[in-house]
Amino acid sequence: MLRIPAVLFLLCCWLGHGGCALADVRLAPGIASLSLASEVAILEDPGGRLSLADVQARGKQFVPSKLPADAAINFGYSSSAWWLRFTIEADPAAPRDWLLEVAFPTLDSVDYFGPGGEHLSAGDLRPFAERPLLHRNFVFPVHLSGTGDSTVWLRIASEGTLTVPLRLWRPESFWQKSLIGYALLSVYFGMLLALALYNLLLWLALRDNTYITYVMFAVSMGVGQLSLSGLGNQFLWPDWPAWGNMAYSTGFAATGLFGALFTRGFLDTRHSVPRLDGAVIGLAGLFALCMVAPLIAPYRLAAILTSLTGVAFSLVAMLAGIRCWRTDQPGARTFLLAWTILLLGVAIVGLRNLDLLPTTFFSFYAIQIGSALEMLLLSFALADRINTLRREKDAAQGEALATKQQLVGALQRSEASLERRVARRTAELEAANARLRENERQLQSLAHNDTLTGLANRLLFDARLQQSMQHARRSHGKLAVLVVDLDRFKAINDGYGQAIGDEVLRSMADRLRATVREVDTVARLGDDQFAIALSGIGDAADAERMAEKITTNLGEPLRVLNVPLEVAASVGVAMFSGGDLSPSELLRRADQAMHAAKDAGGGCCRMSAA
């Protein structure tokens, strides 16, 4: 499903093609730069194995982009390699030397094939010194032939979002523009550094953790922006491409984590909006997971999860700011305005990364614009918060003095009032503790159960399988592991939509629960695959009968939202009767048996040979 934006992009290109020939890039003497989005032809290489000769032989399969002239090509999150081709027709009086800029520094691999047979490579997976030109973006020298047309080929591949802004430059114009760009970025990062140092000084003076979380938020934002702008690869980690590749996703995930903690501390969501506090904590946990995800999962998955979590947190933080503003919480109004601008920029970039918004100057630099405005506004919010707290402190001291004078003549009444307040506060604390216990229970449930079907998740299944195997060893008993994979589910999900697909998964989960015993564990491993641990099983024949019963029950006709559907299941069975077999090996054997059932046509079960 991750390739859907790219497929839609190619479909739009094909529909807009209408059989028209692609126009050449025409260069005249007075042209200083030229955007190439509208003149580029595109070919998808799903396997990433095509060579230049292969794509040259498939020239008729290229489709024009049909994008506006100043747009940027965006394939979203795609696992394919993409070939771009454009032909340059230069006026005889036009210069022969140009520069081709690919202005998206987080691309993993960019291969340039020039009209003279040149082959140059760049990307954030390579050391910075290997770039053809030492620039924060990927820049390639283009040498045009003396006569005739010149064709340029590009191969682009990346685990992150595949945005490809292309522009052809006269060298002198490019370097002049680059100086301005470097200067503006210097101002931006100077503001970011100043804000971080300012809040660090406030934290040292006030020891309020809200300020140190904002310092970490600003530092994390700086890491992400340094990667996004290419300055980090050029100046801070030029010889560390592995980190340069991760810095974009990890930096913005850390920005989200510390932004969530800052929001929670500044707005005191635990007390001001307790219903949203759990969402803020949960999203902070997701951001923390996104930070380390590139180390344990595919980078593309981490980048997509970061983008989706950023969009979700934008909505939650804005809602929390609105609630606090309505209750006249100190600094909430300015905070809401500042945070809304920043999170709007984050949401725009997240939607652009998912190819749900077009790539324009505003959507490309939305985070920089939003964060710069947020810096200025949030400084006022922090100052307003300090002044408000100071006024409240002075008012509290005056009230305490007046109360002390009144206590001389009303000690008994004050004691009774104090007792009532203590009782009320105790009740409030007990209620807050009850809410915290409920939140803890809900978080524990989310950690061990699949949110869609209510079944055990992989974590809980592994723990119970380990316990069942230990018990089987001690009691010399047997257990069976079944891996169940739904047949034809992808066709249902793609044909009828995710809502129907989710209902099918819930129905299949209910049928599995009804088929097995209460002592057995049913879990959803992911997508349309389930696993069952049958404890205290008699022998392989019993397990096989249970597997056949499951295939029969799951194969019963199904009606979801008035749509008649037919679903079948392939079941693999693996037996355990003691020994040193590990849970993962037992599950692997069941999975192999399931694939054997798939190969047999599906809708059946197979026993593991081992």
Q: What is the dihedral of CA 520, 524, 528, 532, to 10 degrees?
A: -20
pLDDT at 2: 41
More reliable by pLDDT, 201 or 344: 201
More reliable by pLDDT, 487 or 148: 487
> Which residue, among 531, 454, 452, has the nearest Cα to 499 in the 3D structure?
452
Range in 55-69, 114-128, 381-395, 581-595 the model is least confident about: 381-395
The two tokens of residue 416 are 């009774």
**For residue range 391-432, what is the model confidence (pLDDT) as tens digits?**
777 788 878 777 777 777 777 777 777 777 877 877 777 776
Close Cβ partners of 363 (under 8 Å, ≥ 6 residues apart): 348, 349, 351, 352, 357
pLDDT at 553: 92
The stretch 139-161 carries a mean pLDDT of: 90
The stretch 256-264 carries a mean pLDDT of: 91
CA distance 566 to 559: 9
Ranges of CATH 2.60.40.2380 domains, the chain: 4-175
Would you list the DSSP string of 402-422? HHHHHHTT-HHHHHHHHHHHH
- Sort 113 into a burial class: Cβ within 10 Å, 0-12 / 13-18 / 19+: buried
CA distance 125 to 101: 18
Q: Which long-range contacts (CB under 8 A, 24 or more apart) does 360-369 make?
A: 360/70, 360/71, 360/72, 361/70, 364/72, 364/163, 364/165, 367/224, 367/225, 367/228, 367/342, 368/188, 368/225, 368/229, 369/345
Ranges of CATH 3.30.70.270 domains, the chain: 458-607
Q: Read off the pTM.
A: 0.59
pLDDT at 6: 44
> Which residue, among 145, 192, 104, has the nearest Cα to 374 in the 3D structure?
192
- Sort 547 into a burial class: Cβ within 10 Å, 0-12 / 13-18 / 19+: buried
pLDDT at 388: 73
The two tokens of residue 243 are 């980190």
pLDDT at 337: 83
CA distance 567 to 176: 63
More reliable by pLDDT, 56 or 433: 56
Q: Classify domain 4-175 by CATH number.
A: 2.60.40.2380
Range in 65-69, 184-188, 247-251, 449-453 the model is least confident about: 65-69
Range in 208-217, 280-289, 416-425 the model is least confident about: 416-425
CATH architecture assignment, domain 458-607: 2-Layer Sandwich (3.30)
Would you name the residues annotated as active-site residues? 528
pLDDT at 179: 94
**For residue range 499-508, what is the model confidence (pLDDT) as tens digits?**
899 999 999 9
Pairing of strands 41-45, 109-113: unpaired
pLDDT at 352: 61
Pairing of strands 81-90, 25-27: parallel
What is the average pLDDT score of the chain? Answer: 85
Residue 166 has pLDDT above 70, yes or no: yes
pLDDT at 355: 59
Local confidence band at 170 (pLDDT 50, 70, 90 cut-offs) = very high
- Sort 483 into a burial class: Cβ within 10 Å, 0-12 / 13-18 / 19+: buried
CA distance 572 to 590: 5
**For residue range 75-134, what is the model confidence (pLDDT) as tens digits?**
888 999 999 999 999 888 889 999 999 999 999 999 999 998 999 999 999 999 999 999
